[in-house]
Structure 1
């Protein structure tokens, strides 16, 4: 596992109305097994999908954009995908 970067965001709490500073660490892990072996734990997600970094960086078509988490296609995340892509040996 390798630390890629940290993301700094402000998040407004709808209950208290307060603005919180959020710092998220972003890690990358090189997984050498069949992605079908990965399972969602608990009830944190509905399913797991594999997306090629090249496709994310090139830009998804409209159909795939609807299936992908919109905020994960913003500039900050595209820069993260570029950093991860640079780690992949060619």
Structure 2
């Protein structure tokens, strides 16, 4: 992901660029911006999650989509998805490797840091045919990766749900699972 010192585009509800500001300021003010998520799944019917570093400025030490990032100035969703996948997992993909799922509008507040993530997010899927230990976590940003079976994800206990970013487990994961199940 982009460092706190970097600037991002501010967008309107239609995704039109209306300004720019620093990433940190965008999250403090709850300004609308663009993000991507790439969800890795396996033929063994597992979803691979990223375990966020303990010092992340939003949702530290929680499980998140396999890859996530902000769309930088001058880039589009797909370019960002490919770039972030390489940076966060060490896997280089081509455009045709990703399946576009949909774009969602989401706004939530981190109860730990108080920051608001107000974004239009493009969601992509990728079938990872390798081993989870082939993924190389981006140093300082990701602790590691965890593979969870579909069946377990469909029946998470309240305690297990606390390991995930709330929006992920309550809204995005059900959408992603519904689609991934079609491919397995």
- Encode CA deviations 1:16-69: one digit per residue, 9 max, x unaligned: xxx88521111111111111111211322222111122321x221234223333
In the alignment, which residue of structure 1 is the partner of 2:99?
2
Equivalent position to 1:71, from 161, 167, 171: 167
Structure 1: state its 5+ residue gaps: 13-18
- Encode CA deviations 1:68-89: one digit per residue, 9 max, x unaligned: 333211134312211111122x
Q: Does 1:24 align with 2:24?
A: no
Query: Does the 8 Å CA contact 1:4/1:84 hold for their aligned counterparts?
Result: no
Query: Does the 8 Å CA contact 1:11/1:21 hold for their aligned counterparts?
Result: yes
Residues 75/9 of structure 1: CA separation in 2 closer, same or farther (3 Å cut): closer
Q: How many residue pairs align between the two structures? A: 81
In the alignment, which residue of structure 2 is the partner of 1:33?
130
Query: Does the 8 Å CA contact 1:11/1:22 hold for their aligned counterparts?
Result: no
Query: Does the 8 Å CA contact 1:5/1:80 hold for their aligned counterparts?
Result: no
Name the structure with the higher strand share.
2
CA distance in 2, matches of 1:84, 1:37: 21
Pairwise CA RMSD: 2.4
Q: Does 1:84 align with 2:180?
A: yes
Q: TM-score, normalised by structure 2?
A: 0.38
Q: TM-score, normalised by structure 1?
A: 0.70
